[in-house]
Amino acid sequence: MIITLIHDNPLRHRFENPIKTLKAAGLQPGLKVLEVGCGPGFFTIPAAEIVGDEGLVYAVDVHPLAIEKVQKKIESKRLTNVCPMRTNASDTGLPDQSIDLVFIFGLPRIVGGQESMIPEIHRILKPGGMLSYKKTRGSEKELIRKLESAGFIYSGKQKRIFFFKKEVTL
């Protein structure tokens, strides 16, 4: 699997520190987070370390080999706070308003299209929850427009990570 060669390459850590990136995206101890497109787990294991035993990471990918690789990493590290899920992010099956933060990193193309997963992310995020989206290509204005029209509030960016809050409705 070529994605494993890219994600598990030790040189990648020289160019992108996953802990720094995840903390910049808003991950903190105790959060319940959803990782969309986990691949072989480059961000999954560091995310589990950041959220700690009180937190939980749902690692979602459509590719069975990606989920298998993540599962092996979880087992080798004896982690109990990661739940790998082979599913499309447009239909996670997670309960309404159960997630504090969703992060999407490095997905130039999303299976089923971005539009199909945005309503699901909105559904599972808690009011005031955060979507951290690391932009790889396309129009920044278009990304902001699409997410704002889906009920998110753009709250800024740091480098290539865009932050969107779920509106709190009274």
Q: Are 121 and 151 in contact (CB under 8 A)?
A: no
pLDDT range class, residue 168, cuts 50, 70, 90: confident
Q: Among all chains, which residue has been given the structure tokens 């030790």?
A: 10
- Residue 4 has a CB neighbour count (10 Å cut-off) of 15
Residue 2 pLDDT exceeds 50: no
Q: Which amino acid type is present at position 149?
A: S
β-partners of residue 33 are 57, 101
pLDDT tens-digit readout, 54-86: 999 999 999 999 999 999 999 999 999 999 999
**For the segment 109-162, what is each residue's pLDDT rounded down to a tens digit?**
554 456 788 999 999 999 999 999 987 777 889 889 989 999 999 999 998 899
Flag whether pLDDT at 1 surpasses 80: no
Average pLDDT, the chain: 88
**pLDDT score for 75:** 97
Provide the residue ranges of all domains of the chain, joining segments of one domain with +.
2-8+21-166
Specify the amino acid at residue 105. Answer: F
Q: Which of 104, 136, 135, 145 is nearest to 121 (CA)?
A: 104
What is the CB neighbour count within 10 angstroms for residue 1?
14
Domain 2-8+21-166 classification at class level: alpha beta
Total-model pTM: 0.88
